[in-house]
Amino acid sequence: MPRPTTKDELLTASAMEYDKLLGVLAGFPASQRDDIGWSAPIEDQSQNPRDVLTHLHAWHLMAIEWCTIGDAGGTPQVPGPGRTWRETPAINAEIWQRYASTTYAEALELLAGSHRDVTTLISAHSNEQLFTGGVYPWTRSTTLGAYFVSSTSAHYQWGVKTLRAIARMGMRPR
């Protein structure tokens, strides 16, 4: 599916990719979804379904915060206070650490809630607010919609790919 460039495309892609993610999750045996003591030997910090869910949830929260601050006329610090995009691996490591004791059930609930919240926030903006450059100075050379694409549909595609790699490699006790 091409990268969304309108509000309707974004909402459709986000819903479709989220459903794909849930479908892949359903293919994992309950014992491997529910036990945080399992991981797959893949070259990614997200080595079990819970890790993938909490990663997606945390990036939802960041996008929601950036948008909320920007909508209030502020300038959010993207990707975080004193951080640069080059520090994304360190940010992801911090996310992994923050949610290391979260259960699969908790992670699934967190993701469902933040997916709903980010979808509501997208819906509250016009197509122009989302995909016209320069509407929000804090987004610089990109658009608000691009941030939402990255934190929803595109990120769900990463989640599906990572979950499939985990399933292929097989889960093993940590």
pLDDT at 168: 81
Task: Say what the pLDDT of residue 172 is.
Answer: 62
Q: Which residue range forms the structural domain that includes residue 29?
A: 7-173
Contact (CB, 8 A) for 151 and 63: yes
Map residue 92 onto helix, strand or coil: helix
Q: Which residue ranges of the chain lie beneath pLDDT 50?
A: none
Would you state the pLDDT for residue 4?
A: 96
Distance CA 127, CA 21 (A): 26
Q: Report if residue 13 sits inside a domain.
A: yes
Asked whether the beta carbons of 42 and 168 are under 8 A apart, the reply is no
Q: Is residue 2 part of a domain?
A: no
Looking at the structure of the chain, the number of domains it has is 1
Q: Is residue 168 part of a domain?
A: yes
| Burial grade of 122 (CB within 10 A; 0-12, 13-18, 19 or more) | buried
Largest CA distance in the chain: 49
State residue 142's pLDDT score. 94
According to the model, what pLDDT value does residue 34 have? 61
Q: Is residue 27 part of a domain?
A: yes
Q: Residue 125 is part of a domain; what is its CATH number?
A: 1.20.120.450
CA-nearest of 49, 52, 58, 67 to 130 is: 67
135 CB-near residues (< 8 Å, 6+ apart): 128, 129, 143, 144
Specify the pLDDT at position 174.
Answer: 55
pTM of the predicted model as reported, rounded to 2 decimal places? 0.93
